[in-house]
Structure 1
Amino acid sequence: MSDMDQHDNRTEQEKETDRKLAERLSGIIEDANAQCTPICNKIRKHIENMEAQKEEDRDEGELVKNVKPHLQQAEKILNETNGAIRGADPDNRLSSKAKRNMQDHKATPEEQRLAEALKVLVQEVGGTIEWAKDKLDSFPKAKRDLGPLLDALSQPLTQIIGGVGLLLAGVLNLVGKLLQGLGLDGLLKGILGATGLDKIYEGLGLDKWLKM
């Protein structure tokens, strides 16, 4: 029996509740990924096309026109996803800030699936936001219009990660490790810092990977 197993003092009913919750959340996040990944690819493509043009041919107004609806669409999807996650809260964990589920335990297959889905979400949406902000430094006019939309898109992403983190804490440890393998764990650390979850995790001793 591993150390993690020994610490898992959830009742069978609690384990089943967590298992079903992880399964439900996985479906919600996977659905968001299926919708957002192609949108993120389009955003990147438009910016890359702009970069590939000669400087005198670049039309920043055209770039804004092309990218803006995609950012708005992605934000709408993530807002709906965030609502669905909050609707999946089985015993008011989010409102009661219940800490029972913050215990560390061996990840279940359902939690691993959820972590994988969240990794994709952070990688695709969070990664695209950071990438686009960086690229738009070269296009100040477009950045003026698109920068606030990128910030707006990051808000529901942060809330989604924060919501899952409060519902099933151990999952974010898995996500952190998955992203670390891709060199993208900084994205998640930034999100946790923005939600204040890093402090909660620290208090519960679940912040090992945050210090890596």
Structure 2
Amino acid sequence: MLYLYIGTDRKKAHAALRADAALLSKKAAVIHITDAHTIEDLDAAISGGGLFAQARVVILDGVFDREDMRERILSRTDDIASMSDHFLLYTEKIDAATRKRLERMAAKVQQFDLPKKADKESTIFTIGNALRVGDKKRLWVGYQGELLAQTAPEAIHGVLFWAAKQMLLAARGDTERIRGKRLVAQLAELPHKARRRGEELEYALERFVLSIDVIK
């Protein structure tokens, strides 16, 4: 069963997704897949748990940002829709044809968009901008503020990963390009490293925030 969350207001969309996940996961395992995971991780998540496996809630967060993940999910939409597992998919933007296709099979569709003139500094994007400019103090304060606002660590990681990718794409010189590549690599590996260590993502993110270079 598919649940679809769309829009530029990532904070509200993730809040709605988390609320639905909490209701659906009372007797189910929760699996969280982002675009920082591997295609093999995605394949395992959408393959189903088997006849006697525990029910699952599979959160697919920002995976449409990667073409290979997007194509893999679209090739399996009929399977996803027919499974008893719950698949909660968030994407910031989606083309009309793909949206129409997913809406036909989705049990629930919600749209969350920021006002056109909304100040992004008042949203979770504050931390993404702080990472981009190398402002460690503002990044730390913003990170703590998001935790106090009960923003899921997975959502915070998603914004930081998005900001690092945008920084790499917009790099104007070797220094910016090298820094962008390093941050993308660190953030892509961070969830996997945290799992291997048995560490909560919240604390892995905290160490990452404290480790970034300050740009003067």
TM-score normalised by length of structure 1 = 0.29
The one of the two structures with greater contact order (alpha-carbon pairs below 8 A, sep at least 6) is 1
**Would you tell me which structure has more strand in proportion to its own residues?**
2
**Would you tell me which structure has more helix in proportion to its own residues?**
1
